[in-house]
C-alpha cells in the first residue's frame, strides 16, 4: 500500500481523514485502490483491484472527480475518469487505435523450481496466434525481479538499452523474463541457478526450439548475460549491454558521473559479493566472465558507450579485447558521447536495428548485415551504417 496524495498543496495529513491508498498484489500482480480511515483501528477497505496497471489519480479541485490511466500488456494507458468510489471508470481517450492493425501477443505469469529447490516466478510473452505445436525461438531478458511487470504496457519504441518486448513478440519470438533470487557471494551463479531451470522447463513444454535461445540484458543484466555465456553453452546468441566483465578491476574504479567509489556495490549492495577484494579474492574471480572467456562459444553483441558514468567503458573494452584475442565471435557497439543508456533517438533507432539484425541472424536464419560480416572501419564511422544485408 502507498498513500495517494490527491492535493498537491497538502502539507500534512489530517488524523481524522479517510485516505486513498494505491495497492499492489505480489501474488497475482493485480493493482488498484483501497481507502483507510486513519483514526480507526481497521484494515484498509478495498474499492478496486484488477489485472491492470493504474497511474496515480489526479483529483479535480473542488469536486470528487478523478482522472487516471489504466493499462496492461495489450491495453495502452488511456485516460479514464471516475469518482472516489471508483465504481465505474469511463474511458475518455483512444490514443492508440492503430494497435489493432498489428500482431501483438500475450503475457502470462509462470513458475518453476530453481536449482535451490524453491519455486520462483517469471513472465512469458507469446506471439499472436500462438501455436503450441510449433517451435519458437526464445529470448530471455532479465535484471532482478521482472514478474511484477505482468501488466506493463510496452509501446513499440526504440529502446535505450534493451529489447522492446512488443516488437520481438510481434515478430514471432517468445520472450522470457525470469525473476532472480540471489545468494550473497554468488551473484553470477544465482542468476544461472534461476534462469537455466526456467528455460529448461520451457524447452520441455515442447514449443521452444532449444537450438535458438538468446539472452539480452543491460548493466546488471549485462553482467549476468556475460556470466551465463561464460558458464553455459546452451545459447545461440547473446547481447550484453555495459557489462562488468572483470570484478577485480571494476572494484577499484569509480562511478564517473558521481565520483563515488565502486567498492560499496560489491561489499554491500547490488553486486552482492559481501566482502572486500582482499578478504575474498576468489569470489571476485569466480563471478567474472573475463576469466572464463576461453569457454565462451556464444556469439556476443555488446553495447558500451564512451561516456558511461555508471559502468566504466573499460569494462566493455576488456571483455571485447579478450574475446577478439581468443578469436571468438564478438561485436561491440560504442555510441560516442552517450552515457549508460542511449538518449539520442537516432542512436536508439540504430541500436534497435542492429540488435534485431543480430538476433534475426542467429535465431531466425536471416542473412547477416554488412556491419557484422565486414565491420565499419573507423574512418567510415558516421558515414556508413552497414545495415544492408550481406547476401553473398
Q: H/E/C letters for each residue in the chain?
A: CEECCCCCCCCCCCCCCEEEEEEECCCCCCEEEEEEECCCCCCCEEEEEECCEECCCEECCCCCCEEEEEECCCCCCEEEEECCCCCCCEECCCCCHHHHHCCCCEEEEEEEECCCCCEEEEEEEECCCCCCCCCEEEEEECCCCCHHHCCCCCCCCCCCCCCCHHHHHHCCCEEEEECCCCCCCCHHHHHHHHHHHHHHHHHHCCCEEEEEEEEEEECHHHHHHHHHHHHCCCCCEEEEECCCCCHHHHHCCEECCCCEECHHHHHCCCCCCCCCCCCCHHHHHHCCHHHHHHHCCCCEEEECCCCCCCCCHHHHHHHHHHHHHCCCCEEEECCCCCCCCCCCHHHHHHHHHHHHHHHHHHHHCCCCEHHHHCCCCHHHCCCCCCCCECCC
Would you say residue 325 has pLDDT above 80? yes
Would you say residue 337 has pLDDT above 90? yes
Would you say residue 94 has pLDDT above 80? yes
The pLDDT assigned to 98 comes to 94
User: Grid coordinates representing 148?
Assistant: 511484477
Residue 9 banded pLDDT, cuts 50, 70, 90: confident
Would you say residue 357 has pLDDT above 90? yes
pLDDT tens track for 174-217: 999 999 999 999 999 999 999 999 999 999 999 999 999 999 99
The pLDDT assigned to 32 comes to 97
The pLDDT assigned to 135 comes to 97
The pLDDT assigned to 41 comes to 87
* Strand-strand pairing, 2-3 and 18-24: antiparallel
Would you say residue 232 has pLDDT above 90? yes
Residue 64 banded pLDDT, cuts 50, 70, 90: confident
Residue 8 banded pLDDT, cuts 50, 70, 90: confident
User: What is this structure's pTM?
Assistant: 0.93
The pLDDT assigned to 382 comes to 84
Would you say residue 326 has pLDDT above 80? yes
Residue 333: CA count within 13 A, CB half-sphere: 28
Residue 390 banded pLDDT, cuts 50, 70, 90: confident
| Mean pLDDT, rounded, for 233-243 | 97
Residue 85 banded pLDDT, cuts 50, 70, 90: very high
CB 143 within 8 A of CB 194: no
CB 325 within 8 A of CB 294: no
- Picking from 137, 125, 140, the residue whose alpha carbon sits closest to that of residue 211 is 137
The pLDDT assigned to 102 comes to 92
* Strand-strand pairing, 136-141 and 208-218: parallel
Across all residues in the chain, what is the average pLDDT? Answer: 95
Residue 303 banded pLDDT, cuts 50, 70, 90: very high
pLDDT tens track for 19-58: 999 999 999 999 999 999 998 889 999 999 999 999 999 9
Residue 257: CA count within 13 A, CB half-sphere: 10
Would you say residue 317 has pLDDT above 90? yes
The pLDDT assigned to 392 comes to 74
Would you say residue 307 has pLDDT above 90? yes
| Mean pLDDT, rounded, for 74-78 | 95
The pLDDT assigned to 104 comes to 93
pLDDT tens track for 241-276: 999 999 999 999 999 888 899 999 999 999 999 999
The pLDDT assigned to 336 comes to 94
**Percentage of the residues of the chain whose pLDDT score is greater than 70:** 100
User: Grid coordinates representing 5?
Assistant: 496524495
Amino acid at each position: 500500500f502507498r498513500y495517494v496524495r490527491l492535493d498537491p498543496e497538502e502539507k500534512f495529513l489530517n488524523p481524522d481523514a479517510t485516505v486513498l491508498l494505491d495497492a499492489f498484489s505480489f501474488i497475482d500482480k493485480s493493482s488498484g485502490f483501497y481507502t483507510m480511515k486513519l483514526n480507526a483501528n481497521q484494515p484498509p477497505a478495498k474499492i478496486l483491484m484488477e489485472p491492470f496497471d493504474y497511474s496515480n489519480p489526479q483529483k479535480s479541485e473542488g469536486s470528487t472527480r478523478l482522472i487516471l490511466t489504466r493499462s496492461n500488456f495489450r491495453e495502452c494507458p488511456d485516460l479514464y475518469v471516475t469518482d472516489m468510489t471508483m465504481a465505474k471508470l469511463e474511458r475518455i481517450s483512444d490514443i492508440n487505435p492503430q494497435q489493432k492493425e498489428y500482431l501483438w501477443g500475450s503475457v502470462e505469469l509462470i513458475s518453476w523450481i530453481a536449482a535451490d529447490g524453491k519455486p520462483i516466478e517469471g513472465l512469458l510473452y507469446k506471439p499472436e496466434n500462438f501455436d503450441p505445436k510449433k517451435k519458437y525461438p526464445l529470448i530471455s531478458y532479465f535484471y532482478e525481479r521482472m514478474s511484477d511487470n505482468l501488466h506493463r504496457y510496452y509501446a513499440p519504441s526504440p529502446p535505450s538499452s534493451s529489447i522492446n518486448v512488443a516488437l520481438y513478440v510481434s515478430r514471432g519470438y517468445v520472450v522470457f523474463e525470469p525473476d532472480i533470487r540471489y545468494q550473497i557471494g554468488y551473484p553470477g551463479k544465482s542468476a544461472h541457478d534461476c534462469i537455466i531451470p526456467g528455460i529448461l522447463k520451457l524447452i520441455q513444454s515442447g514449443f521452444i526450439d532449444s537450438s535458438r535461445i538468446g539472452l539480452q540484458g543491460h548493466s546488471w543484466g549485462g553482467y549476468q548475460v556475460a556470466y551465463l555465456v561464460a558458464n553455459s553453452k546452451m545459447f545461440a546468441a547473446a547481447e550484453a549491454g555495459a557489462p562488468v566483465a572483470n570484478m577485480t578491476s571494476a572494484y577499484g574504479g569509480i562511478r564517473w558521473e558521481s565520483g563515488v567509489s565502486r567498492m560499496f556495490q560489491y561489499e554491500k549492495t547490488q553486486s552482492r559479493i559481501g566482502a572486500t577484494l582482499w578478504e575474498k579474492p576468489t569470489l571476485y574471480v569466480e563471478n567474472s566472465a573475463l576469466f572464463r572467456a576461453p569457454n565462451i562459444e556464444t556469439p556476443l553483441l555488446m553495447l558500451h558507450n564512451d561516456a558511461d558514468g555508471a559502468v566504466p567503458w573499460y569494462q566493455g573494452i576488456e571483455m571485447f579485447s579478450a574475446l577478439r584475442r581468443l578469436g571468438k565471435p564478438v561485436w561491440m557497439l560504442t555510441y560516442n558521447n552517450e552515457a549508460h543508456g542511449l538518449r539520442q533517438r537516432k542512436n536508439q533507432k540504430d541500436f534497435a536495428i542492429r540488435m534485431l539484425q543480430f538476433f534475426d541472424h542467429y535465431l531466425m536464419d536471416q542473412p547477416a548485415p554488412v556491419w557484422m560480416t565486414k565491420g565499419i572501419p573507423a574512418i567510415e564511422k558516421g558515414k556508413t551504417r552497414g545495415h544492408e544485408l550481406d547476401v553473398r
